[in-house]
Amino acid sequence: PVVQINKLDPLFEDIQKRTFNFFWDTAEPDTGLVPDRWPKPPFASIAAIGFALNAYAIGAERGWVTRAQARARVLTTLKFLHDLPQGPESSTTAGYQGFFYHFLNFGTGLRYGSSELSTVDTALFMAGVLFVQGYFDGDDAEEKELRKVADDLYRRVLRHPDTPLLAKAL
């Protein structure tokens, strides 16, 4: 049977589109970093990046960008964050044991100021990672790579010594 989706009230359609546009337009296209606030984006937010990942897939589904455009932005974002240094050195890393600092420097992707290593904000980011990992389920090379990078990011968090039950489940 065909599932019919009711159209949203035009107000909600407008809010969805403007929300998508915020993430699409304010993200740094070469890294995927998203500002924590606007109009002065002094730093990126790992939670905002997670929200943006969701928005990109929704934008593709709604036809605001193509699937290929959304996939390219997501893959750029995931690869950039995946390749940032992680470690106990708080001033020269983006995170530690899979977790990210709440705020990241727009230029480098490394920890911004004295922001905390954030379980909550990393979880919001990971929610976006898992969403796009499931959404981009195609057999082409880019979608396969996207899923692998997403899986690597997710497994880094699960290997954290404070989550032994989750790590054993893998």
Ordered DSSP codes for 98-111: TEEBSEEETTT-SB
pTM of the model: 0.89
Whole-number Cα distances in Å, 15 to 9, 50, 86, 146:
10, 18, 36, 28
pLDDT per residue of the chain (170 residues) written in tens, 0 to 9: 555 566 778 898 899 999 999 999 999 999 999 999 888 778 999 999 999 999 999 999 999 999 999 999 999 999 999 999 999 998 899 999 999 999 999 989 999 999 999 999 999 999 999 999 999 999 999 999 999 999 999 999 987 665 554 444 44
Q: Are 73 and 32 in contact (CB under 8 A)?
A: yes
Instruction: Say how far apart CA 59 and CA 93 lie, in whole Å.
Output: 31
The label of the residue with tokens 């050195």 reads: 89
71 burial class (0-12, 13-18, 19+ CB within 10 angstroms)? Answer: buried
Q: Are 53 and 77 in contact (CB under 8 A)?
A: yes
DSSP state of 45: E
